[in-house]
């Protein structure tokens, strides 16, 4: 009778015998942990590489990341890499000594000639940094001294899918965890009511490459680290709302019952994915209240609407997503990924890119200014850029008024701001044709290593054992570019 009463009072229905049997396992685990990591329970202010996840390896400069990914690859020659030589030598064939047998895509490999094509937009220098920025981006020009432009990025991937996958996961092959998942795994969440990794998408007016959920997948990491896609419109997260007729208290009771069953099943099987599912059910329950509040911009003052532009009031636009990114960041989301599609200009580049730039220019600059005025820029790392660059020659028929550019992995530009990155820096250089990196090259693996360093993580120490080997975001490469760090 006594045992029955204990079971009735205990929601997990665990009796005394079961409790002590499981307690012995817990004590044994603690003892083993103290043997494997002698300083685990000492409070000496030291952080070891073997310390539990959720603790940085060293003092971080950034607490969170907002990644403004321009899917389709904007041309560096019409954005931030000014090359007057192209105007002087317009129409001349790209010297073989510069091309040096580089692999091309099937869209231009059979061209008889590769006539040099200057940008159909002017450049000016801005700020004390003297950063060259094209007239496509008048608003970003205003924050020239807040951003660092890296003009020496390079990659191996020459087609969109492997190139985007490489940027997001550190591998051209699908199946690896995304960088947002790695950061969630390494640092945990700052807000128990919101996911640590959120994704927002928008579509521009140009040719759009597909976006796939593998880009924000947790891969072989625990599924709780996967990115959560927030949609525009009435239901930001699919299947989050309850059916009609189900009250919140009824939902709570249901979750409690399911959780009890799952915990008992976990005790029997030891399957950690069961605990992940429990955590995801609980997160979904809390998100029912937190997500609608974060996504509601109706309380934003008119000054903020003016800063981001009128489009920020239109759900699903880049401007709306940029404003949402700030709101998510101030509510403790660790990694916010924006994808803006439409940068694949193989033809009609002057017109299409002008439209794309107009989509993102004001809101991108507004985000940096908004974070700064709130005192958040110093610990929020903002990144802007695509998956590779664009060639310096005309794709197809030579027409200075209506030309296109093919994919170019050898050299391209991105910019970063805040979060421990030096402001007003122009880093790296390409040759006079904008074709090859000639100074301070930055590979994708280096970019990842530097990003993680800003967040207090040693990229060589944050690993996960899978299929018999230890993986990391940077795989077996990558060096921190210390010149970029403040």
Residue 150 DSSP SS3? strand
Average pLDDT of the residues of the chain: 86
**What pLDDT, on a 0 to 100 scale, did the predictor assign at position 482?**
97
* Whether 204 contacts 359, CB under 8 Å: yes
Residue 116 DSSP SS3? strand
CA 119 to chain CA centroid, Å, is 29
d(CA 72, CA 386): 7
Q: Is the pTM of this model over 0.75?
A: yes
Length of the chain: 486
**What pLDDT, on a 0 to 100 scale, did the predictor assign at position 276?**
64
What contacts 337, CB < 8 A, 6 or more positions away? Answer: 67, 69, 180, 197, 198, 199, 200, 216, 227
On the question of pLDDT at 1 being above 50, the answer is no
What contacts 235, CB < 8 A, 6 or more positions away? Answer: 241
* Whether 120 contacts 398, CB under 8 Å: no
On the question of pLDDT at 356 being above 60, the answer is yes
**What pLDDT, on a 0 to 100 scale, did the predictor assign at position 245?**
64
Which stretch, 236-245, 252-261, 471-480, has highest mean pLDDT?
471-480
* Whether 390 contacts 407, CB under 8 Å: yes
d(CA 75, CA 353): 9
* Whether 41 contacts 47, CB under 8 Å: no
d(CA 382, CA 57): 21
DSSP H or E segment with residue 69: strand 64-71
d(CA 349, CA 335): 32
**What pLDDT, on a 0 to 100 scale, did the predictor assign at position 130?**
97
Mean pLDDT of the 24-37 span = 51
d(CA 64, CA 414): 18
Closest CA to 357 of 405, 400, 318: 318
Closest CA to 419 of 80, 146, 49, 191: 146
Query: pLDDT-derived band of residue 291, with 50, 70 and 90 as boundaries?
Result: confident
**What pLDDT, on a 0 to 100 scale, did the predictor assign at position 205?**
82
Mean pLDDT of the 289-317 span = 89
On the question of pLDDT at 199 being above 70, the answer is yes
DSSP H or E segment with residue 125: strand 123-126
Exposed, middle or buried by CB within 10 Å (0-12, 13-18, 19+), for 269? exposed
pLDDT digits (tens, 9 = 90+) for 336-348: 999 999 999 999 9
Mean pLDDT of the 104-117 span = 93
**What pLDDT, on a 0 to 100 scale, did the predictor assign at position 278?**
57
Per mean pLDDT, which range of 8-17, 155-164, 230-239 is the poorest?
8-17
Mean pLDDT of the 139-160 span = 98
Query: pLDDT-derived band of residue 246, with 50, 70 and 90 as boundaries?
Result: low
d(CA 332, CA 293): 14
Mean pLDDT of the 167-173 span = 96
* Whether 442 contacts 466, CB under 8 Å: no
Decide the pairing of beta strands 437-439 and 228-229: unpaired
CA 61 vs CA 58, 125, 188, 454: distances in Å: 10, 29, 16, 5
CA 164, 459, 189: angle at the middle one, nearest 5?
80
Closest CA to 62 of 373, 391, 418: 418
Exposed, middle or buried by CB within 10 Å (0-12, 13-18, 19+), for 441? middle
Neighbours of 75 (CB within 10 A): 26
d(CA 439, CA 109): 27
């Amino acid at each position: 009778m006594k045992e029955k009463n204990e079971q009735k009072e205990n929601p997990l229905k665990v009796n005394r015998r079961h409790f002590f049997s499981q307690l012995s396992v817990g004590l044994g685990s603690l003892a083993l942990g103290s043997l494997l990591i002698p300083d685990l329970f000492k409070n000496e202010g030291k952080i070891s590489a073997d310390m539990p996840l959720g603790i940085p390896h060293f003092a971080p400069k950034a607490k969170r990341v907002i990644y403004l990914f321009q899917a389709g690859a904007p041309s560096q020659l019409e954005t931030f890499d000014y090359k007057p030589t192209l105007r002087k030598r317009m129409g001349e064939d790209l010297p073989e000594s510069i091309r040096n047998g580089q692999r091309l895509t099937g869209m231009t490999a059979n061209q008889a000639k590769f006539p040099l094509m200057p940008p159909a937009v002017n450049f000016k220098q801005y700020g004390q940094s003297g950063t060259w920025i094209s007239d496509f981006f008048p608003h970003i020009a205003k924050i020239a001294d807040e951003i660092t432009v890296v003009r020496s990025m390079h990659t191996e991937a020459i087609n969109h899918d492997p190139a985007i996958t490489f940027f997001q996961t550190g591998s051209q092959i699908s199946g690896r965890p995304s960088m947002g998942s790695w950061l969630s795994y390494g640092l945990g969440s700052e807000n128990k009511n919101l996911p640590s990794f959120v994704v927002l998408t928008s579509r521009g007016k140009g040719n759009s490459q597909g976006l796939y959920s593998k880009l924000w997948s947790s891969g072989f990491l625990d599924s709780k680290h996967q990115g959560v896609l927030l949609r525009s419109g009435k239901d930001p997260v699919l299947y989050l709302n309850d059916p009609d007729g189900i009250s919140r208290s009824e939902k709570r009771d249901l979750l409690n019952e399911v959780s009890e069953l799952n915990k008992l099943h976990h005790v029997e099987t030891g399957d950690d994915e069961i605990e992940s599912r429990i955590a995801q059910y609980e997160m979904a329950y809390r998100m029912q209240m937190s997500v609608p509040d974060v996504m509601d911009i109706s309380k934003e003052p008119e000054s903020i609407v003016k800063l981001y532009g009128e489009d920020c009031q239109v759900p699903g636009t880049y401007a709306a997503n940029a404003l949402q990114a700030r709101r998510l960041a101030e509510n403790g989301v660790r990694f916010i990924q924006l994808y803006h599609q439409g940068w694949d200009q193989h033809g009609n580049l002057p017109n299409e890119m002008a439209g794309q730039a107009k989509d993102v220019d004001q809101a991108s600059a507004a985000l940096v200014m908004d974070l700064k005025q709130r005192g958040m820029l110093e610990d929020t790392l903002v990144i802007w850029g695509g998956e590779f660059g664009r060639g310096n020659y005309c794709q197809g028929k030579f027409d200075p008024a209506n030309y296109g550019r093919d994919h170019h992995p050898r050299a391209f530009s991105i910019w970063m701001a805040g979060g421990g990155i030096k402001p007003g820096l122009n880093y790296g250089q390409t040759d006079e044709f904008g074709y090859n990196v000639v100074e301070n090259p930055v590979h994708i693996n280096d970019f990842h290593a530097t990003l993680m360093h800003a967040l207090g993580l040693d990229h060589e120490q944050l690993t996960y054992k899978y299929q018999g080997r230890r993986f990391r975001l940077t795989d077996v490469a990558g060096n921190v570019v210390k010149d970029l760090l403040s």
